[in-house]
Amino acid sequence: MAERTPDRLARLLALVAHVSQSGPTPLSELARLYGTSSEQIRRDINLLWVTGTPGYLPQDLIDFDADALERGIVRVTQDRGLREPLRLGPQEGLSVLAALHALRGILAAGSAQSSVVAAVEQLEQKVALSLGPVARAIDIEVRPEVSPLTLQALQEAIVERRQVVLEYVDVADRVTVRTVEPAALFNDGESFYLDAWCLTSGSGRVFRVDRMAHVEVLASLATQVDYRPSLSAVPRGEGHSVDVLVTEQGRWLVEELPAREVVDVAQGVLVRLDVVNDHWLNRLLLQHGDVIQRVSPSSAADIAAAQARTALQLYTSDDIMRAAEQVRDEEGAP
């Protein structure tokens, strides 16, 4: 994909400033620092080489040491006033500030050292100061409701590569006990998740930390040292395809679904989902049956509809109606 002009311009300015201030730097090092290829850095330098002040005679142009460049070393000999790094743009600054606010919330909820939390706070002040009054437009609170002790135990298990026994309330609200090998903790702004190798199921799994009823770190060491966590709260791959037709009213729901394909149709939005866990699909139908018109294959719809009918029968039973009246009378009493 073509790089956006502002992104390239930012790097062009940064390259001149960086090399002017740090001295001769290998192409490969610049490529690593700026997250691009050596070829791209070379193209950037070729572009910089022909830019300068009006007149555009040799002495007007940005210049590099050509001999050094042949050896793969970038040395600036004429910076044409670009020696200083450019300040952050307002959108860039606000996005960094938002990320720092969120990080501090996550750290404070976890068990990070207070010195690190203080360092983040100081950084927030630096960035906010440089942004001026607009900095107050960012109001971010991340307060994951999770026990610091649980997080601490999981972090300890990750660092020491130990196995952990979890008592876990799954999406179907059943309590299961599993032995897992924690690989990474992550946070999506609302919840903490643990990505771990699950010995009980023999696969990688993502668990919500706030659904862990009990965590016990074992003495035994992890066996799957090569396990690479996906760090995604949305399960990926190896699922089966389910098509759901969402009504126009439920369009907002589409954004929150792990959709493989989204197609606008006359009756609403047709979404092809990647379903890894049938309990998840069952919950989805029960939660949003009012804006889901059709499901294919049909078995999931039949099951959810049967559950809904059983639940609805409760509301017509004498027992429940009497209890509901009792609550109303008590609340109505002065």
Task: Map the footprint of other proteins across residues 64-93, applying CB under 8 A.
Answer: 80-82, 84-93
Question: Are 163 and 157 a contacting pair, CB within 8 Å?
Answer: yes
For residue 149, give every residue at least 6 positions away whose Cβ sits within 8 Å of its Cβ, in sequence order, or none: none
Nearer to other proteins among residue 67 and residue 108 (C-beta) = 108
Of 64-72, 197-205, 214-222, 326-334: span binding other proteins (CB under 8 A)? 326-334
Which tokens in the block code for residue 142? Answer: 């991340």
Q: For other proteins, which residue of 24, 31, 34, 161 counts as binding (CB under 8 A)?
A: 34
User: DSSP letters of 249-284?
Assistant: GGHHHHTTS-EEEEEEETTEEEEEEEES-HHHHHHH
Q: Does 52 sit near other proteins (CB under 8 A)?
A: yes
Kindly list the distances between the CA atom of residue 207 and the CA atoms of 102, 103, 156, 191, 201, in Å, as whole numbers in the listed order. Answer: 21, 21, 17, 10, 13
In the bound state with other proteins, the residue whose beta carbon lies nearer, of 188 and 278, is 188
Residue with token string 């590569």 = 161
181, containing H or E segment = strand 175-187
Sign, CA torsion 56/58/62/66: positive
Instruction: Pick from 28, 72, 190, 203 the residue near other proteins by CB under 8 A.
Output: 190
Distance between CA atoms of residues 272 and 257, nearest Å: 10
Q: Taking CB under 8 A as the rule, does residue 293 contact other proteins?
A: yes
The least CB distance from residue 219 to other proteins, in Å, is 19
Binding mask 130-169 for other proteins (x = CB under 8 A): x--xx-xxxxxxx-----------xx--xx---------x
Binding to other proteins by residue 178, rule CB under 8 A? no
- Taking CB under 8 A as the rule, does residue 285 contact other proteins? yes
Q: Is residue 123 part of the contact set for other proteins (CB under 8 A)?
A: yes
Span from 65-73, 113-121, 199-207, 214-222 in contact with other proteins (CB under 8 A): 113-121
The yes or no reply on residue 231 touching other proteins (CB under 8 A) is: yes
What residues between 303 and 322 interact with other proteins by CB under 8 A?
Answer: 304-305, 307-315, 319-320, 322
Q: How many residues bind other proteins (CB under 8 A)?
A: 143
Q: Which is nearer to other proteins, 223 or 241 (CB)?
A: 241
Q: Which residues pair with 73 in a beta bridge?
A: 26
Q: Does 273 bind other proteins (CB under 8 A)?
A: no
Q: CA 108 to CA 171: how far, in whole Å?
A: 27
Residues 6+ apart with CB under 8 A from 141: 105
237's CB contacts (< 8 A; 6+ apart) are: 274, 276
Question: Measured from the CB atom, is 114 or 202 closer to other proteins?
Answer: 114
Taking the least distance from each CB to other proteins, the nearer of 68 and 262 is 262
* Dihedral angle over CA of 138, 144, 148, 149, nearest 10: -160
Q: Which of 202, 310 has the CB closer to other proteins?
A: 310
> Which parts of 194-223 interact with other proteins (CB under 8 A)?
211, 213
